[in-house]
Structure 1
Amino acid sequence: MNDKPKRIKRPISGWVVLDKPFNMTSTQAVGKVRWLFSAAKAGHAGTLDPLATGILPIALGEATKAVPQVQDGTKIYRFAIKWGSATTTDDAEGEVVASSDVRPDRAALEAVLPQFVGTIMQRPPIFSALKIDGERAYDLARAGEVVDLQPRPIDIDAIELIEHGSETSTLEVTCGKGTYVRSLARDIGEVLGTRGHVSLLHRAAVGPFHDQDALTIDQLEALSLEQRDALLKPVAAGFSDLPEIRLDPQQAAAVRHGNAVLLTGAGSPVSLDECWVSFKGEVLATGWVEFGQFKCRRVFN
Structure 2
Amino acid sequence: MARRGKKPKGRPINGWVILDKPKGMGSTDCVGKLKWLYFAQKCGHAGTLDPLASGMLPIAFGDATKTVPYVMDGRKTYRFTVRWGIQTSTDDTEGEAIETSDARPSRDAIRDLLADYTGEIEQVPPAFSAIKIGGERAYDLARSGETVEIESRVVTVHRLDLVEAPDADTAVFEAECGKGTYVRAIARDLGRDLGCFGHVTDLRRTAVGAFEEADMIPLDELLDVADENREELTEEAIESGAKARIMDFGPLDEYLIEPEAALSDLYEVMLSDDQAARVLSGNSVLLKGRDAPAFCEEAFATGHGRLIALGAVEQGSFHPKRVFGGRG
The CA distance in 2 between the partners of 1:273 and 1:129, in whole Å, is 31
Q: What is the 5 A alignment of 1:210-221? A: 210-221=212-223
Q: Give the 4+ runs in structure 1 shifted more than 4 A.
A: none
Q: What is the Cα deviation at residue 290 of structure 1? A: 2.8
Q: What is the Cα deviation at residue 129 of structure 1? A: 0.8
Q: What is the 5 A alignment of 1:1-301? A: 9-164=10-165, 165-223=167-225, 224=229, 225-301=249-325
Paired residues of 2:276 and 2:304 also in contact (CA < 8 A): no
Q: What is the Cα deviation at residue 274 of structure 1? A: 1.9
Question: Structure 2 length normalisation: TM-score?
Answer: 0.86
Paired residues of 2:45 and 2:68 also in contact (CA < 8 A): yes
The CA distance in 2 between the partners of 1:126 and 1:258, in whole Å, is 46
Please provide the CA RMSD for this pair. Answer: 1.3
Q: What is the Cα deviation at residue 295 of structure 1? A: 2.8
Opposite residue 295 of structure 1, the aligned amino acid is H
Q: 1:297 to 1:124 in 2, by over 3 A?
A: farther
Larger deviation, residues 90-99 vs 284-293 = 284-293
Larger deviation, residues 282-291 vs 48-57 = 282-291
Paired residues of 2:269 and 2:300 also in contact (CA < 8 A): yes
Opposite residue 219 of structure 2, the aligned amino acid is I
Aligned length: 294
The CA distance in 2 between the partners of 1:288 and 1:146, in whole Å, is 46
Partner secondary structure for residue 144 of structure 1:
coil
Paired residues of 2:300 and 2:308 also in contact (CA < 8 A): yes
Can you give the 5+ residue segments of structure 1 that lack an aligned partner in the other structure? 1-7
The CA distance in 2 between the partners of 1:147 and 1:297, in whole Å, is 41
Larger deviation, residues 205-214 vs 259-268 = 259-268
What percent identity do the matched residue pairs reach? Answer: 50
Opposite residue 125 of structure 2, the aligned amino acid is P
The CA distance in 2 between the partners of 1:176 and 1:11, in whole Å, is 32
Can you give the 5+ residue segments of structure 2 that lack an aligned partner in the other structure? 1-8, 230-248
Q: What is the Cα deviation at residue 81 of structure 1? A: 0.6
The CA distance in 2 between the partners of 1:132 and 1:211, in whole Å, is 34
The CA distance in 1 between the partners of 2:15 and 2:86, in whole Å, is 43
